[in-house]
Chain A
């Protein structure tokens, strides 16, 4: 069964601190993994995308890692800001053999709150 599990479910940190969010998946065949940020009342916005051969990718203060062997990913946020408060969703794309269709499988997200 294709599943994406995220931890922790919620996290509170102080402004300026770092944090790491975790994602484990069982999606197969694997195509790529994305981290999305969803602000309250808005749709998810893509932060990073990694394919099978990529181990790490950065986007400003966001750094994502991928271990395709253990099927784990992490999102590290450096020097957190108040605006980082949001839900962070791990999304894995499955690419059925012989098809270019990419079905997306979503985690439930980690709700991050940054306090001043």
Chain B
């Protein structure tokens, strides 16, 4: 069974540009999460999809970040326009059940974003 995949693995862009990150969850997983780890800090929650619906987006830092999950399969996270403080590693995770707190989340390898 394929795990959570993310694309690209690395992205280097200039301040003001737009970047779109993609996450393909494990097939059949209804729950999809986005997280971010800024250098030197802990991983922090960004948002949670249940199928195609945003269940919780309280962790999104500002309106420059837009997440979508059309059709309830893969998800994209767009940053427009990117700022220097957006640099970090963006992780995607998925889990099968409907928001059970004991459900294990399976993480992707992350996308390392560098904004110059």
The interface of chain A, by Cβ under 8 A from chain B, is 4, 31-32, 34, 36, 41-46, 49, 51, 89, 93, 95, 99-104, 106-109
Interface contact B4-A43, CB-CB below 8 Å: yes
Given the interface pairs A100-B98, A102-B102, the reply to whether A41 lies near B56 with Cβ below 8 Å is no
Q: How large is the interface on B (under 10, 10 to 19, 20 to 34, 35 or more residues)?
A: 20 to 34
Whether a CB of chain A sits under 8 angstroms from the CB of B27 is no
Given the interface pairs A43-B107, A101-B48, A101-B56, the reply to whether A89 lies near B100 with Cβ below 8 Å is no
Smallest CB-CB separation from B6: which chain A residue? A43
A-B CB contacts (within 8 Å), total count: 59
Please, how many angstroms separate the alpha-carbon atoms of A109 and B37 in the complex? 12
Smallest CB-CB separation from B108: which chain A residue? A43
Smallest CB-CB separation from A51: which chain B residue? B102
Cβ contacts under 8 Å, B102 to chain A: 31-32, 49, 51, 93, 102
Q: Which of A46, A103, A106, A107 contacts B56 (CB 8 A)?
A: A103
Please, how many angstroms separate the alpha-carbon atoms of A32 and B100 in the complex? 11
Interface contact B100-A102, CB-CB below 8 Å: yes
Interface contact A104-B105, CB-CB below 8 Å: yes
Interface contact B42-A106, CB-CB below 8 Å: yes
Please, how many angstroms separate the alpha-carbon atoms of A109 and B40 in the complex? 10
Whether a CB of chain A sits under 8 angstroms from the CB of B18 is no
Scan B78-116; emit 1 where CB is below 8 A from any A CB, else 0.
Answer: 000000000000010100001111111111111000000
Please, how many angstroms separate the alpha-carbon atoms of A109 and B108 in the complex? 18
